[in-house]
A and B are shown apart, each in its own frame.
Chain A
């Protein structure tokens, strides 16, 4: 589901054309833009403004406080008007900061482009040099350069620019390295373009956003650092002055007349803060990875927003019952109904397969039960999940936490990503045990070791000390299963537990799960897209399409005689051993996007048997007897019976 939500092409196009609109929506960035524009305009217009001469000394008016003698911000130790000096000083500071940024960007980008494009030895040597420069503490190198060139504003500018070259070189090189091996660059090379031209016309336009991002995030720094050098007396020399040297002069009368140093410092703060706000805004717009919302933190539990709690329909003997469960994703004003009312029940020791293509909502169904769907953007919008008679969606966060792993455990698809890379598997198992059964560590370690033996891991005591990346895929999945079984849960939800494994290991893991559920009487909800796996382990099967169950019934019967055309096509996709000539038919078309479901049957557009009636109204899941039900107006079985 998440995939469907992210890969909407129109949204991508909107982002590119609406960069300004996106920036405008970021209030902080707009505020930053306002500040920067204002300061820059004032600085530019300094000669036109009715300001006093910034260098006109007036010993009689020395050190006036703000407002005194017609001086809005007061005067400094030589009686010069502070407001006027502030405006002229800002002019110098901005000019120096911008120039340093441009020099650093030009030199650094050039180095980065050449290094990334040329690769090999050139890249190696250039980057070694850059690393050497970066091995110096930032400001110290600038100091050394100023020490050699001598104090002065221009020398400070060079020093700051040189020190910032590595940031540009590194960032640009990284991007160029990736681009230099792309097809369009190869094509340009084959068409006979010279290297400099390719760099300029093909590569540069693509790295420009990165250059802009790096500029917008470093220009504030550079203004701060040049101000710092001037403050130390190593930058602007009298009579020339920038904000930093004003601050340095003000320091001499700090105790008696603090306003002389407070004012220019405040000006630097406001200017740099404006630049940083704007820079962050620009970065967010240009760097899609950091686009706001992309880094939303999922909270501990899926939000529940039910309008009504359904009346419980009891299935005698069931341990877990899903009733009309609905899960939605709210992304950018769109509502994706990933799960649109699912009914499902599990008896102890029973294994139910939940089958469907990717995007059908089967994983979201599985995650919804214990509130593991990430919020934002997910939320449970309706229905109920009854575990031993209590409504899971009505429990408090703490109550649901206590049931996770103890009553309902999960095994996920990718065992490398789902195990914590920095903890040993033993520690992770011990943690799972002690989360619900407080016991001494040594005791838990023994129990964890037993669990590893239970899932047939050789040398369990030794493996306890292993990190996940040191184990094979099959071993890792066994560890995950052991972790799921740590507290003898009554329900095990396995989300494609064998998909990432190769076929022989797959068979072993399936056999293991089958044995364990018989021995321990746990119910298993088995999510898969593979009917071959279903036939191996599941008692019953439920087929999902576009967020709803379209067919359910005992595995053997459904495999033998599917009633829904979709089930039929899914089964036809499974290769049969020993029948290499059998045609494997892919299902043409794609599942509908769940934010714009068609009325009627969601499968109608891909169904060869669809008629006009299929495209109107809601089609119900109809009981067919024998535990079977199908959501189809013209199920296959009846047609077969009709002859």
Chain B
């Protein structure tokens, strides 16, 4: 088991390098002069020249990559020109907020999605199944940014139950209850689509498992149906669903871009949107890299959990 985790950890290293390579190549795709793109069209030629040297853009592409990678490994992601502070500082500050939002949503969508999927499969073709299937279909077809607006209209404007934006109250907030109060609407919105996807796959996985011979064995032993469903069928289905939950982590972190914008959540997503519109490409680069790295690490965790559950994978 320990050896397996080590092996998986080692396998992450090339993936991480791949990530940096792709991010680097995307940035190299910038049409025209990158320094001008970064500094904006009003930059003086001296500044462009200096940045070009600073970024090593006067060298060959592989050389540029190595220099860039070297800086990256030392924690130097460059300086955001629009915020006039190191990219790393801004990104780490904002990443915490995204992690709180995305993490909560992921927990929420896993619990709800698994539950809905199991109930739906167990009551296959019953009215519970039909209702769940239909709600799930609406969930995965809803534009999450629009749903966020609707929830703000209803819960924040109409009924005044939850705040419409931000992470903490401006006056007198800052504690955990305040955070949770602000978290409800964005986390709920963000988890809708992922809940639907997980519910759908759980239902299919459960139906697949429930036809297996070992479920017949469990029933032949005279186990209670609840035990057959949860201890036998669900456990086996979960092994197949966990990688999907890992993938949903990516969708949730990506979807955070919309939700953070709608709810003005001070995370990486809203930072990225602002950075793109101000053409602060180094900030975009840093934000994308950090979130992608987190996603890779999360998938690693999903892999390890799957292996813990399934002895055949060890």
Contacts and interface: CB of A to CB of B under 8 A. Distances in A.
B121 A135 contact: no
A422 B236 CA distance: 7
A247 B145 contact: yes
B76 to A, nearest CB: 19
A191 to B, nearest CB: 40
Contacts of B138: 269, 273
Chain B's interface size range is 35 or more
Interface stretch (B25-33, B42-50, B56-64, B65-73): B25-33
Contacts of A300: 219, 225, 228
B187 interface: no
Interface string A409-436: 1101010011111110000000110011
A277 interface: yes
Interface stretch (B85-93, B104-112, B166-174, B202-210): B202-210
Given A138-B250, A295-B204, A432-B221, A421 B146 contact: no
A402 B208 contact: no
B313 to A, nearest CB: 10
A131 B17 CA distance: 12
B217 interface: yes
Nearest to B140: A276
A295 B208 contact: yes
Interface in A540-578: none
A228 B258 contact: yes
Given A276-B137, A412-B213, A412-B216, A135 B15 contact: yes
Interface in B164-194: none
A97 to B, nearest CB: 12
B26 A144 contact: yes
Contacts of B75: none
Contacts of A370: 220
Given A135-B296, A272-B141, A418-B213, A144 B258 contact: no
Contacts of A290: 204
Q: How large is the interface on A (under 10, 10 to 19, 20 to 34, 35 or more residues)?
A: 35 or more
Given A132-B19, A136-B292, A404-B222, A422 B310 contact: yes
A136 B146 contact: no
B198 interface: no
Interface in A387-413: 401-406, 409-410, 412
Nearest to A414: B213
A150 B204 CA distance: 41
A94 interface: no
A374 interface: yes
Contact of A419 (B147, B217, B292): B217
Most buried by B among A297, A405, A467: A297
Contacts of A136: 19, 22, 250, 288, 292, 295
Contact of B224 (A261, A265, A401, A417): A401
Contacts of B310: 421-422
B301 to A, nearest CB: 14
Given A137-B254, A258-B153, A431 B292 contact: no
Contact of A298 (B22, B204, B211): B211
A140 B288 contact: yes
A269 B227 CA distance: 39
Contacts of A486: 221
A273 B218 CA distance: 39
Of B149, B207, B281, B312, chain A has the most CB atoms within 10 Å of the CB of B149
Contacts of B261: 232
Interface in A353-410: 370, 372, 374, 401-406, 409-410
Contacts of A140: 250, 253-254, 257, 272, 288, 291-292
Given A143-B272, A265-B150, A297 B213 contact: no
A220 interface: yes
Contacts of A423: 232, 235
A258 B152 CA distance: 11
Contacts of B157: 255
A133 B18 CA distance: 9
Contact of B149 (A147, A261, A435): A261
Contacts of B121: 297
Given A135-B296, A147-B275, A262-B149, 16 more contacts: A136-B292, A137-B251, A137-B295, A140-B253, A144-B285, A228-B145, A232-B261, A247-B145, A268-B143, A268-B146, A297-B122, A300-B228, A412-B216, A417-B212, A432-B221, A486-B221
19 contacts: A135-B15, A137-B253, A137-B254, A137-B295, A144-B23, A228-B144, A232-B273, A234-B273, A247-B149, A255-B153, A269-B143, A290-B204, A370-B220, A409-B221, A418-B217, A419-B217, A422-B235, A467-B312, A470-B311
Interface of B: 15, 18-19, 21-23, 26-27, 29-31, 121-122, 124, 137-138, 140-147, 149-150, 152-153, 157, 204, 206-208, 210-225, 227-228, 232, 235-236, 239, 249-251, 253-255, 257-258, 261-262, 272-273, 275-277, 281, 284-285, 288, 291-292, 295-296, 299, 309-312
Interface of A: 128, 131-133, 135-141, 143-151, 220, 224, 227-228, 231-234, 244, 247, 251, 254-255, 258, 261-262, 264-265, 268-269, 272-273, 275-277, 290, 295-298, 300-301, 370, 372, 374, 401-406, 409-410, 412, 414, 417-423, 431-432, 435-436, 467, 469-470, 480, 483, 486
